[in-house]
Amino acid sequence: MSMKTSENEKRAGSPAAKPTAEAAPGSTERPLRVAVIGSGPAGVYAADILTKSEEVRNGLQVSIDLFDRYPAPYGLIRYGVAPDHPRIKGIVNALHKVLDRGDIRFFGNVNVGTDITLAELKTYYDAVIFATGAVNDADLNIPGIELEGSFGGADFVSWYDGHPDVPREWPLEAKEIAVIGNGNVALDVARMLSKHADDLLVTEIPDNVYRGLKSSPVTDVHIFGRRGPAQVKFTPLELRELSHSKDVDIVLYPEDFVFDAASDEAIRTNNQVRTMVNTLTNWLVEQDDDVTPARTPASRRLHLHFLHSPVEITGTDGKVSGIKFELTELDGTGRARGTGEMVHYPVQAVYRSVGYFGSAPGDVEFDHQRGVVLNDGGRVLAADGTPVPGIYATGWIKRGPVGLIGHTKGDALETVTYLLQDLAQLPAAANPDPDAVVGLLASRGIHYTGWEGWLELDSHERVLGAAASAHGGVQRERVKVVSRTDMLTAARGANARV
């Protein structure tokens, strides 16, 4: 079967005559060939910015192929943003418009590194941009982290977002849960753990996730930050949203509301910090004096603790049975130091949300301390610090897992600017024919989804959503397909070879 012949070729804008290696990349005889690895916001923004660059407006021809290891595009938006965040999920609409224009080819379900190597890509493309993100949990090296019931927050996110490579079942047996970290991922994890499953039915959560959450016996989720309320890394909107979950009470502790000189300064000068400290303080003031479970009206509680630094996860018979913290105090600069006083909380599960960490995409130098590809402003560097010609990075794999999705636009602009500055020095691809990479994937039996394949899968998920709406009485825009095989089968109608 000839896969994606017409569609992806049409998208590549492949000229009638085969482009030759001799012609200058970007000339009218042959476009500049660029491979972008990763179709999350970072990759799509880079591709979009390149197509709209001044150089392109002035006649530079470009032909961009976007690769993703998953059959569906959108990376972190599909597999990292919580399902009850439709506003952020809505960024998909902007990314869709870019990819639907027809000038960028999409190759989903292609793993760069195994299905096709970087060396091979370099024979087909003049430049390669890594936009592979950071998807793993940062480590938390405390005793007991390996116990059954101790989880990485990012893994849980992957589960509730229906990631194809994560087991379908998630053990949700704990009544009391600790979430470590005061960033937005900790908020997502704690909110998803504490929310009632029926309140998530309006979202795109897969059926297995609904069933798992529905069976959860959870009553109390505790979020622990190692510093104070003025040092949280949440953002105001996400924090306020915590109070919107039905039948979930927020519980705060007055002794945790400690502010040092640096806190006061941050509250005075930083709107976000001020807003969040006000939100937290208002919740504290409004809550009843007695917040013991028997006295709170809701059936579930979400506790926010500050000045708690995790020391050890304790276990019984190999399973989590509690967590020990050292209480901390602020040192005047906003940092925390231990007080020597220990506290223990009985919990049956611990989720660490202490940041994401990038993984080495292979064949490029990797900074194992920071979890990023070694780079200077997006130019990938060799071990000796010199730029590797034609190889670039953008997004979280370039600068680490910080910042909101919109921040990756600035990143992409910087990377693309360097790429265009380097135009004359790019190592021209030996085989710039856009058909060549299609031929290689076909010869290897790689079952990739093209853009049309994704559109098929997309519409299949919407049909599932409509069916679930008719059946369950709750309006659902889509229901996500989880397994890779099912995704490829749904995409097959167009062009995936299964």
Partners of 37 in the β-ladder: 67, 130
Task: Count CB-CB contacts under 10 A for residue 294.
Answer: 5
∠ Cα 77 82 83 (to 5°): 95
CB of 417 vs ligand NAP, minimal distance in Å? 23
Return the closest-CA partner of residue 189 out of 319, 318, 356, 404: 356
Q: Which is nearer to ligand NAP, 356 or 392 (CB)?
A: 356
Q: Which is nearer to ligand NAP, 267 or 436 (CB)?
A: 267
What kind and span of H or E run contains 7? helix 5-12
Q: Which is nearer to ligand NAP, 144 or 355 (CB)?
A: 355
Label the pairing between strands 248-252 and 308-316. unpaired
Q: Which is nearer to ligand NAP, 154 or 420 (CB)?
A: 154
Task: Count CB-CB contacts under 10 A for residue 217.
Answer: 10
Dihedral pair phi/psi, residue 312, rounded to 5°: -160, 140
CB of 122 vs ligand NAP, minimal distance in Å? 31
CB of 138 vs ligand NAP, minimal distance in Å? 7
SS3 248: strand
Strand ranges for 110-247 from DSSP E? 127-130, 136-137, 150-152, 176-180, 220-224
Label the pairing between strands 62-67 and 319-330. unpaired
SS3 36: strand
Label the pairing between strands 372-373 and 32-37. unpaired
CB of 332 vs ligand NAP, minimal distance in Å? 15
Q: Which is nearer to ligand NAP, 105 or 352 (CB)?
A: 352
Q: Which two tokens stand for residue 409?
A: 């636009």
CB of 63 vs ligand NAP, minimal distance in Å? 32
C-alpha span between 462 and 456 (Å, rounded): 10
Dihedral pair phi/psi, residue 359, rounded to 5°: -115, 150
Q: Which is nearer to ligand NAP, 262 or 496 (CB)?
A: 262
Contact assessment for residue 74 and residue 86, using Cβ atoms and an 8 Å cutoff:
no
Q: Could you identify the residue written with the tokens 């109070």?
A: 243
CB of 484 vs ligand NAP, minimal distance in Å? 25
Q: Which is nearer to ligand NAP, 397 or 481 (CB)?
A: 397
∠ Cα 401 361 41 (to 5°): 45
CB of 465 vs ligand NAP, minimal distance in Å? 23
CB of 480 vs ligand NAP, minimal distance in Å? 18
CB of 188 vs ligand NAP, minimal distance in Å? 5
Interface positions with ligand NAP (CB under 6 A): 85, 88, 140, 180-186, 188, 225-227, 231, 233, 235, 238, 310, 353-356, 401-404
Q: Which is nearer to ligand NAP, 89 or 447 (CB)?
A: 89
Q: Which is nearer to ligand NAP, 122 or 308 (CB)?
A: 308
Cα 115 from chain centroid (whole Å): 23
Q: What is the crossing angle of helices 41-51 and 91-100, to 10°?
A: 50
Q: Which is nearer to ligand NAP, 23 or 88 (CB)?
A: 88
CB of 459 vs ligand NAP, minimal distance in Å? 27
C-alpha span between 487 and 212 (Å, rounded): 21
Return the closest-CA partner of residue 270 out of 216, 218, 313, 233: 233
Label the pairing between strands 379-381 and 375-376. antiparallel
Which residue number is nearest to ligand NAP in terms of Cβ? Answer: 183
What kind and span of H or E run contains 344? strand 336-345
C-alpha span between 112 and 146 (Å, rounded): 31
CB of 141 vs ligand NAP, minimal distance in Å? 8
Q: Which is nearer to ligand NAP, 2 or 271 (CB)?
A: 271
CB of 323 vs ligand NAP, minimal distance in Å? 11
Q: Which is nearer to ligand NAP, 265 or 486 (CB)?
A: 265
